[in-house]
A and B are shown apart, each in its own frame.
Chain A
Amino acid sequence: MTAVLQAEKLSKWYGNILGISDINLEIGSGITGLLGPNGAGKSTFLKIAAGQLKPKIGSLTIFGEEIFGNHRLFRRIGFCPEHDSAYMEMSGWEFIMLLSRLHGFARNRAEEISEKALVTVGLLESKDREIKGYSFGMRQRLRLASSILHEPEMLMLDEPLRGVDPLWRIKIMQLIKDYGKQGRTVIISSHILPEIETMTSEIVLIHQGKIFAKGDIHRIRGLIDSHPHQVSIRCREPRQLAQKLIDSDFVLSIDFGMDGHSLTVRTNQRDLFFTALIRLIAETGLKIDEITSPDDNLQAVFDYLIGK
C-alpha cells in the first residue's frame, strides 16, 4: 500500500483536554472508516489532517507534504467539516461558486462544476435560496458539495451523514463508494458502525484519543457479535414474556425491572433472539411498549473490547 496519509507519533491536546495521543497511522487509497464514540478524537485527527490544527507532537503528511499552512495541497484534497456552519447570508449557489472560484476555476468552468456538485447532492433547485433557509440535512449536503466540487484525489468527511434523510443517506453512501472505486482516498468518520460497514471494510477504531484497532471490519464485527448483548423490553406482562423466552438456548439470563413493567434479557446470539422475539409477539399477541438495546452503541462495544 502506498500511503497517502502518514501520521507519526501524532498528539494534540487542548489545554488539559486530550484530543489524540501518539497516533501512528498510514492510510492509502480506497475508503477508510474512522470509527469511535463521540469525543474519541476522530474530529481532532481529521482537523489536523485538513490543516486546521497544528499537531502538538509528531507529524502528519499528505502526499508526502506537511499540511498546515500548505494551501497548494488543497487542490488535491476535499474536506467536509462536522460543524453545521455556512455563510447564511449567501445563497447555496453563491457559496459553491465562491469556493469553485477560489479553487482557481475560471467563471464558466466554475459554473459548470458548481452545477454538477449541486446536482450530485440534489440542491440545484434550491440553489438560489439563502442558506439560512435550508434544513439541517440540506446544509449537510451543501457541505458535501463544497468538498467534492473540484473532484479531489483525497476526500475527508467528518460525520457526513449526520442529519441527512434516509434517501439521501443511501445516495451519499453510494457516492462515497464510487469515489473509493475510482482509486481515490476517502477517510470518513462516524460513530455508527453499520453506516461505515455499508461503505468499507477497512476501519480504524479510535478511542480516548488513541488508535485502538485497525484493519478489517469483519474481524471487529466477529468480536462484537461474540460478546453478550443486553436487550431491555418494556411490556405489560413481563413475566409471561419471560416464561416464553427462558427455554431458548440463546437466552443467558433474564432480570426483571423494579417497575414491574420491564425485563432485561442477556443473549449471546442477538440476531436469533430478535427473530424469535418477533415471532413470539406475532403468535401470542403480547403488547410490547418499547425495545431498547443498551449494548447497541459504539461506546458499549468499545468498553467490551477494552475489557477483553
Chain B
Amino acid sequence: MNMKKQNAMRIIFASFFKSGFKAKRTRAFILLSLIPVVLMLIMRIMETAGSLAANASADFFAKVMLILYFQLLIPVLALFFGSTIVNDELDNKTLVYLTTVPVRRRSILLGKYLAAFLQAALLVGCGFLLSFLAASLTRLDEAAAWEELAVFLGTSLLALFCYSALFTAAGAFMKKSILIGLFFVFGWESVVQYFPGVTQKFTIIHWVKSLLPVPPGEGGFLIFQLQPSPALESVAMLLGAGLLFLFLAVFIFQRKEYILSDNA
C-alpha cells in the first residue's frame, strides 16, 4: 500500500466536501448568501412593475450588491470557512483521527482547504450569478453583460482564494482566529483602503477592487485615493498572496503541536 499524496488529498476533499453541507453553519451561510438574491429580485420586480425608475436594478447592483459581495459576504465566508478548517478539528477534538493515519499533514490541510474553498465558491458563485441575472435581465442579449459576469465571477473566486488561504493560515496558527479575522475584515480592510499613498496596497480588497469592471465613480463604493492597480498585477498579487498564505498554513500545520485537552 503506497498512498500517493494526491489520493489522500482527494479522499479528504471528497469526504469533507460532502459532510460540510450537512453542517448547520453551512446551511446558515446558504441562507445568508441568498439574501442578496432576494434583494435583487425585489428590485427587479419593483422596476418591472414601474415602482422604480428604469435601470434602478442595475444601479442597485453596482452601488450596493458589489459592496455586499466583495466587502462583506466574500471575506466573511472565507473567514468562517478558512479559519474553521483547523479550529473545528481542535474544538471537536477530531484532529487525532486525521493525524494517526499514514497521510502527510499537508495533504490533510490542502484536502480540507479545497473542500472549504469549493463550498464557499459555490455559495458565492450561485448567489452572484442569480443576482447578476436579476440585475441585467434587460441586457442579457449583450455580449458585454456576459463578459462583465465572467470578470465578476473570476474576481470573486480570486478574492475567495486569497482571503480563505489567509484565514486558513491564521486558523492553523491560533485557536481563536475568528476574532482576529473579524478585526482584519472590518478594521484593516475597511479603513486602510482609504489611506493615501501606497498603504492601501497592503489590503486584499485593493487588488480585488482593481479587477472590477465597474469604473471608479460609476460604482459608488469604488473611491480610490490611488488609481486602481493594473489588472495583470492585481491577478498576480491575489494569486501570489493566496499561494503564500497557503504555504504558510501548511508550514504551520506540519510543525505545530495541537493539544486536544483541557490542559491546553
Contacts and interface: CB of A to CB of B under 8 A. Distances in A.
Interface of A: 14, 17, 19, 43-44, 47, 50-54, 68-69, 71-75, 77-79, 81, 83, 85-90, 94-95, 98-99, 101-105, 146
A85 B88 CA distance: 12
Given A87-B92, A87-B97, A90-B19, 15 more contacts: A43-B261, A50-B96, A54-B257, A69-B105, A71-B103, A74-B101, A74-B102, A79-B96, A86-B97, A89-B23, A94-B18, A102-B11, A103-B101, A103-B102, A104-B1
Given A17-B263, A71-B103, A89-B19, A102 B98 contact: yes
Contacts of A53: 257, 259
B100 interface: yes
B19 A52 contact: no
B60 to A, nearest CB: 37
Nearest to A147: B100
A69 B257 CA distance: 10
State the 8 A-B residue pairs at the shortest beta-carbon distance, nearest first. A104-B1, A104-B3, A85-B93, A89-B22, A102-B101, A83-B93, A14-B263, A74-B102
Interface residues of B, number: 33
A136 B148 CA distance: 54
Contacts, number: 93
Contacts of A44: 263
A31 B40 CA distance: 66
A98 B11 contact: yes
Contact of A102 (B12, B93, B261, B264): B12
Interface in B250-264: 254-255, 257-261, 263-264
B2 to A, nearest CB: 7
Nearest to B11: A101
A129 to B, nearest CB: 13
Interface in B52-111: 92-94, 96-105
A158 B19 CA distance: 27
Contact of B99 (A51, A78, A103, A105): A51
A102 B94 contact: no
Interface string B1-31: 1110000100110010011001100000000
Nearest to B2: A104
Contacts of A83: 93, 96, 260-261
A272 to B, nearest CB: 42
A71 B102 contact: yes
A290 to B, nearest CB: 32
5 contacts: A44-B263, A73-B102, A74-B100, A94-B18, A102-B102
A71 B105 contact: yes
Q: Chain B CB within 10 Å — which of A52, A54, A146 has the most?
A: A52
Nearest to A102: B101
Contacts of A81: 93, 96, 260
B155 to A, nearest CB: 32
A145 to B, nearest CB: 12
A52 B1 contact: no
A71 B104 contact: yes
A179 B31 CA distance: 50
A20 B25 CA distance: 38
Nearest to B98: A102
Nearest to B88: A87
A75 B1 contact: yes
Nearest to A109: B1
A103 B94 CA distance: 17
Interface string B155-194: 0000000000000000000000000000000000000000
A52 B97 contact: no
Contacts of B104: 71
Given A75-B1, A102-B98, A14 B259 contact: yes
Nearest to A86: B94
A90 B3 CA distance: 23
A69 B254 contact: yes
Contact of A94 (B12, B15, B261): B15
Nearest to A156: B100
Nearest to B103: A102
A14 B264 contact: yes
A53 B263 CA distance: 12
A99 B97 contact: yes
A54 B254 CA distance: 12
B19 A94 contact: yes
Interface in B100-131: 100-105
B96 A52 contact: yes
Contacts of B264: 14
Contacts of B102: 71-75, 102-104
Q: Chain B CB within 10 Å — which of A68, A86, A99 has the most?
A: A99
Nearest to B22: A89
Contacts of A54: 257
Contacts of A104: 1-3, 102
